[in-house]
Chains A and B, each alone.
Chain A
Amino acid sequence: GAVVSQHPSRVICKSGTSVKIECRSLDFQATTMFWYRQFPKQSLMLMATSNEGSKATYEQGVEKDKFLINHASLTLSTLTVTSAHPEDSSFYICSAPRLAGGQETQYFGPGTRLLVL
């Protein structure tokens, strides 16, 4: 079946540093990928839509200069958290849509746990 991977699975960094998270679709191509953030005991909140070959679309309240998104190829999107601060600590999850069984389904990555000290 379709698989979406993320790397790293968890990262601890110092405040002020930048962290890059990769999202890959392993056996299908995705012109669009989505990045979500999930705080403890809360639901997933869409941050941005990553578009291959064009700029990402950010949701209201998400700083595009802080959360840099690059959709480098049809199987890879990266999210870079720049100048990370403790309040950026969260669970970051990507997803990619794929047509399966006649319907379009979102396949989610396993998530990346970011802890900023």
Chain B
Amino acid sequence: SQKIEQNSEALNIQEGKTATLTCNYTNYSPAYLQWYRQDPGRGPVFLLLIRENEKEKRKERLKVTFDTTLKQSLFHITASQPADSATYLCALDPNNAGNMLTFGGGTRLMVKP
């Protein structure tokens, strides 16, 4: 069956450290993968998109990798801050037909000062 798996346990790290979140998928062949941030009671906010021919993408303190062989994407936040505390979701278009997204379960990140 098709799955998008993220670590359901909360990730607790100290301020200033690098947070690394994992997204693994099964029985999909996505042309791209996206990462979103969701704060409690709010809709997701788009962060980064990485295409299958891109191994790495960066945006400020964020870095995303995409390994189509391992069927895995890693999401890194460097120099983490308490304001980075949120749930981070990975998502992909299951049909590569444009726009419709299937989400992973999300990983809650807690950055302690």
Binding site for B on A (CB under 8 A): 4, 6, 32, 34, 42-46, 49, 91, 93, 95, 97, 103-111, 113
Interface string of B25-62 (1 = CB under 8 A from A): 00000000010100001111110010000000000000
Q: Evaluate whether A97 and B46 lie within 8 angstroms (CB atoms) in the complex, with A43-B105, A43-B106 already known.
A: no
Interface size class of B (residues with CB under 8 A): 10 to 19
Q: Evaluate whether A46 and B102 lie within 8 angstroms (CB atoms) in the complex, with A103-B49, A105-B49 already known.
A: yes
User: Does B105 contact A42, Cβ atoms closer than 8 Å?
Assistant: yes
Q: Provide the residues of chain A in CB contact with B34, threshold 8 Å.
A: 105-106
A-B contact count (CB 8 A): 51
Majority SS at the chain A contact face? strand
User: Does A44 contact B89, Cβ atoms closer than 8 Å?
Assistant: yes
User: Does B101 contact A106, Cβ atoms closer than 8 Å?
Assistant: yes
Residue in chain A with minimal CB distance to B108: A41
User: Does A108 contact B89, Cβ atoms closer than 8 Å?
Assistant: no
**A113 CA / B49 CA spacing, docked (Å):** 28
Near A by CB (< 8 A), chain B positions 79-101 give 89, 98-101
